[in-house]
Structure 1
């Protein structure tokens, strides 16, 4: 069980954190939220699609890491098999928490039950120096958390802009696997409709260009070709299980 608490030197002076590419904590999460700022490098490995929050109606970009729900094909063991991974994977065991909705300030928190937290004096990075000041490691990790938070907010704004131009369209992905007699239909996925994009009024299209969004949109569209890679990985997984 997680135990997420605000980080402070009084309680965590000797605490250390191990850096690891063991992402098995995502083993049952086949859709991983991502931000637009990482589309270019993630598109070389994962299909990047959108899902819709049923409560808020907001669109959220995700990297598909599995064909079947509850199976992340990349995170079944501790050896990460790809050359790229989402920024958010590096957050653990840290997180940012707002004390209240009305405050702009955030607290840096840590999951003290995380396997990345070490009690060994010889392993991991210290979070605080002997003078009670933040270590360089903690400063860099905090900066990375704040950067991801800023990117997430910007991603929300970009999705709202694209939705306002009615560019999202629902797409049912039909996948045929070797061990399944019937094709699998993947529902609840949205993509940017290239035809609607090309039909935009000139001013709307140019506004996307001025805001640097066209390369991100095209990275998303190109990434859909990676569905074939996922099918191959699913077939390999099914043959071994």
Structure 2
């Protein structure tokens, strides 16, 4: 299946140099090759069991900040991530059956997998709805298939619409982080986990500097208002303040470390 678009779709947090996080392959969804395929079951997020971060879109900050610290990658384009665990290579929010812990926000990036819109070639702005054939999330069946004959099923049309909207929001997110970089608002920082008798620093990511934000001129601040960037920034900062629900996974209290 193909779709016309001009966005850098399907690249996610990892960029064009390699496959996005969790993806092992991309294969265009095709009725001849995948006509009898369907998802094994909805809501299996076992693929994220060993990931402590999940890519996030700006539109999600308002909900996600209630559950996770929101950080930015150190390298450009400084895409936002939800810190879903303080334990490296372990995500306790993924339950034994692959389900996501009830009551915790489920990022759109996880809901999109194992699908994505991917350019059909480096030179083309035409996109194909692709699947990760190596995800282990597909099976053959008689109902709930991706195609009705040689035409996309209603389910597939819904998947296509979701992926289109995801890529639109990704483009807006990239514009947001580019503006943060232009204003030099991001600084490398760390989160300190305090336990009863010890502490542990999590570092290697970026966050908005409140000091730099407060130092912006009125003219610069006004440039953040038309696109709704200020509420997004404040949601990010709120996610780093106080104890987060994710902190309880390690039975510690999370604090944004302040360097002397």
TM range (shorter): 0.7 to 0.9
Change (3 A) 1:194 1:16: same
Say whether the 8 Å CA contact 1:47–1:227 is kept in structure 2. Answer: no
Task: Give the superposition deviation at 1:103.
Answer: 1.3
Instruction: State the match for 1:91 in structure 2.
Output: 112
| Separation of aligned partners in 2, 1:19 and 1:139 | 18
Q: Give the Cα separation in 2 of the matches to 1:153 and 1:11.
A: 31
Deviation at 1:214, TM superposition (A): 0.8
Give the C-alpha shift of residue 67 in structure 1: 0.9
SS at match of 2:223: helix
Is 1:158 the equivalent of 2:180? no
- Change in CA separation of 1:226 and 1:117 when aligned onto 2, cut-off 3 Å: farther
How many Å apart are 1:19 and its aligned residue? 4.5
2:240 to 214, 224, 228: 224
* CA distance in structure 2 between the aligned counterparts of 1:8 and 1:108, rounded to whole angstroms: 9
The TM-score with structure 2 as length reference comes to: 0.80
Q: Deviations over 1:30-67 (max 9, x none)?
A: 111111011111111111111212xxx32110000111
TM-score (norm 1): 0.86
2:141 to 120, 135, 156: 120
Cα distance change on mapping 1:193 and 1:82 into 2, 3 Å: farther
- Helix, strand or coil for the counterpart of 1:59? coil
Residues 61-104 of structure 1 show CA distances to partners (whole Å, capped at 9, x for unaligned) of 00001112211221253231143210011122222222322211
Does the CA contact (< 8 Å) of 1:20 and 1:116 recur in 2?
A: no
Tell me the C-alpha RMSD between the 2 structures: 2.1
Distance 2:122 2:242 in 1: 39
Aligned counterparts of 2:102 and 2:209: Cα–Cα separation in 1: 28
What secondary structure is seen at the aligned counterpart in 2 of 1:187?
A: strand
Q: Which has the higher helix share?
A: 1
Structure 1 residue runs of 5 or longer lacking an equivalent are 237-241
Structure 2 distance, partners of 1:106, 1:17, is 22
- Which of structure 1's runs of 4+ aligned residues deviate more than 6 A? none
1:144 aligns to what? 162
Map residues 1-241 of structure 1 onto 2, 5 A cutoff.
2=24, 4-53=26-75, 57-77=76-96, 78-83=98-103, 84-122=105-143, 125-130=144-149, 132-177=150-195, 182-225=198-241, 227-235=243-251
Kindly tell me: are residues 89 and 175 of structure 1, through their superposed partners in 2, closer, same or farther at Cα, counting changes over 3 Å?
Answer: same
Deviation per CA, 1:128-174: give whole Å up to 9, x if none: 113x2111110110111121122112211210111110111221211
